Amino acid sequence: MSEASRRQLLLNSVAFAAAGAMSIPLLGEALPQPSPGKEAPGEKEPEVTATEDLMREHGVIRRALLVYYEVIPKLRQNPGSVDAAALRETARLFRTFGEDYHERMLEEQHIFPLIRKQGAELKGYADVLTAQHQRGREVTDYVLAVTNGGKISAAHAEPLARVFETFVLMYQNHAAREDTIVFPAWKRNFTDKQLDEIGDQFEEIEHKMFGKDGFEDAEKKISGIEQVLGFADLAQFTPPPPPKL
């Protein structure tokens, strides 16, 4: 795709998003083929497909959910020991990368409008998933509010622990259904070539919103938060062997 037509697609998409329209841009029609072999090997990052893009975003979101999950027992035992600033950073990442970008710009603009037309069951999914995005935004507002003062007050500790429990369970189900039901159904609407074009378009939206690479930056942010909270070493999560029978 030429730089000009790519830019136009992006502008269309941003305009749709700004207007809150439920339409999707026309894709894959008479778009010029990318010229193969133009870039020398090593000059270009390996291609990330549209669904791989969405699923690796879920990876960052799941790591934020794991931060929430790990903090639950600490909130109950000793809320004063919880690093409110790190929790607040997690909620900020959830907002910018999870809600404003992944949910609003990709799923609600590109994925859900199409699957709504693919039968009652998928329409039902789109409705519930949209309502869950909205509930998630309320949760993020709440987390940002109770972490505002630098410490979690005793009065907020148990309500926040309960919010995290129910929110993590909701979002794990949410992302898992999207990965296994919604994204595969959405993908069936397109040829491989069209999916390539959409992948490029998603990347353009990402660059437009975050600068060079929103995913890499978000991954670095969640890694930093894990480091601060002591969750960085993956091996600590390997459980002991199960009881011998």
CB closer to Fe ion out of 107 and 226: 107
- Cα distances from 64 to residues 185, 224, 227, 231, 236, in angstroms, run 26, 11, 13, 11, 17
Binding site for Fe ion (CB under 5 A): 107, 129, 178
Q: CB 91 → Fe ion: shortest distance, Å?
A: 17
Q: CB 60 → Fe ion: shortest distance, Å?
A: 11
Q: Give the Cβ contact number of residue 84 at 10 Å.
A: 20
CB closer to Fe ion out of 34 and 113: 113
Q: CB 116 → Fe ion: shortest distance, Å?
A: 14
CB closer to Fe ion out of 115 and 129: 129
Q: CB 190 → Fe ion: shortest distance, Å?
A: 18
CB closer to Fe ion out of 24 and 228: 24
Q: CB 174 → Fe ion: shortest distance, Å?
A: 6
CB closer to Fe ion out of 82 and 183: 183
d(CA 104, CA 80): 34
Q: Which residues, 6 or more positions from 104, have their beta carbon under 8 angstroms from its beta carbon? A: 17, 133
Per the listing, tokens 């709504």 go with 116
- Cα distances from 134 to residues 27, 114, 129, 208, in angstroms, run 28, 19, 9, 24
